[in-house]
Amino acid sequence: MINLVLFGKPGAGKGTQASFLKSEFNLVHISTGDLFRNHISNQTDLGKLAKSYMDQGDLVPDQVTIDMLENEVDQNKQAKGFIFDGFPRTEAQAEALDVFLTKKGMKINATIALEADDDILVQRLLERGKSSGRTDDQDEGKIRNRFDEYNSKTAPLRTYYNNQQKFHSINGIGTIEEITARLTELINSL
């Protein structure tokens, strides 16, 4: 079983590469954003609980997110592994994920950061914003603000996973095929 955490600033190509990894290695891609939307739209107990926090303008507690992840893992018992995308975002979440996976007899095999220069990512996102309709991809100030958020909250996980010898950095510049080849080589070496 291969369990991966995929990191990267907005525009780094996480979604594109997760789609490839999912099919190439028969992994289940768990995007916490999609998970939240699904639970809320289906009005599950966890979705209602998450929405109650969100409606108050509060962050959803880590345990609610972990419960959603655990539910998703339990529904995919035949999976050869998982790609966690959007979680963990903090060291406390990484620790909670480790505890949850250990209870299941599983572990994170690798965390992979798709690295790219901010100016290149800004251009990618502005280009994506022309067709996606996402307002957060159409304003350079908002994009750079998202980068700052990533740098302050998510990037410190590099140290957490480095200490476990599970952190890997991949050059996220090049063609989709070139980046995919780098990821494939790394995963095959695990």
Would you name the residues annotated as active-site residues?
14, 89, 128, 134, 146
Nearest to 147 by CA among 118, 123, 168, 172: 118
Q: Which residues are paired to 28 by β-bridges?
A: 82
Structure-block tokens of residue 120: 């290149």
Q: Using an 8 Å Cβ cutoff, are 8 and 171 in contact?
A: no
Instruction: Please report how the helices 32-41 and 45-55 are oriented relative to each other, as an axis angle in degrees rounded to 10.
Output: 100
What are the respective helix, strand and coil percentages of the chain, to the nearest 5? 60, 15, 25
Phi, psi (rounded to 5 degrees) for 16: -60, -45
**β-pairing verdict for 2-8 and 167-171:** unpaired
Q: Using an 8 Å Cβ cutoff, are 2 and 80 in contact?
A: yes
Provide the Cα torsion 26, 30, 34, 35; round to 10°: 130
